[in-house]
Amino acid sequence: MRALILADESFSGREQGMLTRLEVGLVAEGVRVVRAVPATALDSAPGAVYSPVVGYDVGLMGLRRSSRARALVDRVQGALESSAGAQGSKALQESLVGEAALVDVVHCFGDAAWPLGIELGLQTGAGVVLEVTSARAVARAAELAAHHGWGSEPPAVVLFAPDLAMARALEEAVGRVSVSSGGKTAGGRIALSPWGVHAPGTLPAHRRVPLDPAAPISIAVLLSDERGDHALTPVITALSEVARRCPELLVFFDAGCQRHAQVWRRSSELGLLPRISMVGDMESHREPVLHVDLLLQPGAGAEHRSLTLDAMAAGALVVAAADPLVDCLIGGTTATVITEDRRADTASWAEAIMSLIAEPDRALRQRETALAWVRDHRSGAGHVAAVLKGYEQLVGPGARAEKD
């Protein structure tokens, strides 16, 4: 089986680690993989250690989608031939005759890549997987269902949902559209593909040390692009209250929060600015963030982000606003969850943060149960297995391993 991983610029930047883990797992299962990212993102893409990486045009200079897809087909074919040549595989080179034999699956990450992915499916005959990771993407999938007809016309399309909550939202939105438009039902066109991360067997020793309000406390704040000042304001106010009890408090905001004027204005009013640092592209350069004491998510915006899972696995304490489309946020198990009716309440955020700082037993219990949940339900191996199962919905069982 050959798979093309097609990522848009946003996704390829913030989820490099997850994409690499997936590629390594697929290669280990006998799948030949090529990753395609926007040409502008090639410099920041990982080197071709496990699979080749090629660039594609994103619609500049008036190039039509069909032309951009044909150009990408040529680059993917060249990458596969080069890879096969390095391994002495004449059989692969002989099989790459005509575009229909190029790849079996085009797996699209980031909904900005969907149109190009579907065009590639049309040109190569490959099945297309659309990874649905946000409420916005659910709406786009429903639009596509109305237009595409769910299997009545090529290419074959399967929607991947990163958890059960998103899968149910897709079933409701896509099923409703399919029925009303006279198309096929969504059955068989939605696959559960839970994202996975590496989770150690036990917590690191330093994560078992109680937090001390008098010692340095580090907190990172992650905000979805779909949330704004209304989500940040109560959190900033709560952090100022925490700072009065934790004199060595350090706060790290993703640089994307700079777009929200309220961050600066409110932080200045509360005297919080000296404690704040901006981290450029926090999700792309997440290693430092995984060492903070707490990760706050004022509003995920019904958007899946593997950084949350990585933080839980690393022993960071997650405090998050409830999100009905993200089922890894389980109050009392994986996170301290602020319910929808308390999202705008400063006292609720301050109390949630301070309870984890001032109550060592509670903090340790959350660290341990979060790690156990990620290890049991969101492993990298489980992600690879689910992806392979979804691919086989498109190309059929028994097509996994490629014979050289």
pTM of the model as a whole: 0.89
According to the model, what pLDDT value does residue 354 have? 98
Which of 37, 74, 31 lies closest to 50, judged by CA? 31
- Given this model, what pLDDT does residue 331 score? 96
Specify the pLDDT at position 279.
Answer: 84
pLDDT tens for each residue of the chain, 404 residues long: 999 999 999 899 889 999 999 999 999 999 999 999 999 888 776 655 678 999 998 866 556 888 999 999 999 999 888 877 655 455 555 555 544 458 999 999 999 999 999 999 999 999 999 999 999 999 999 988 887 665 556 788 999 999 999 999 999 998 755 434 333 434 458 899 999 999 999 999 999 999 999 999 999 998 765 555 678 889 999 999 999 999 999 999 886 666 666 777 888 999 999 999 888 778 888 888 899 999 999 975 678 999 999 999 999 999 999 999 999 999 999 999 999 899 999 999 999 999 999 999 999 999 999 999 999 999 999 999 999 999 988 887 655 555 44
366-376: b (≥16 Cβ within 10 Å) or e = bbebbbbbbbe
Q: What does the alpha-carbon distance between residue 310 and residue 308 come to, in Å, rounded to a whole number? A: 5
Q: Residue 336's pLDDT is what?
A: 98
**In Å, how far are 60, 163, 165, 335 from 168, measured between CA atoms?**
36, 9, 5, 22
Burial of residue 400, with CB atoms counted within 10 A of its CB: 0-12 exposed, 13-18 middle, 19 or more buried: middle
Contact 337, 261 (CB under 8 A): no
118 and 4 Cβ atoms separated by less than 8 Å: no
Using alpha carbons only, give the angle 275, 277, 278 rounded to the nearest 5 degrees: 150
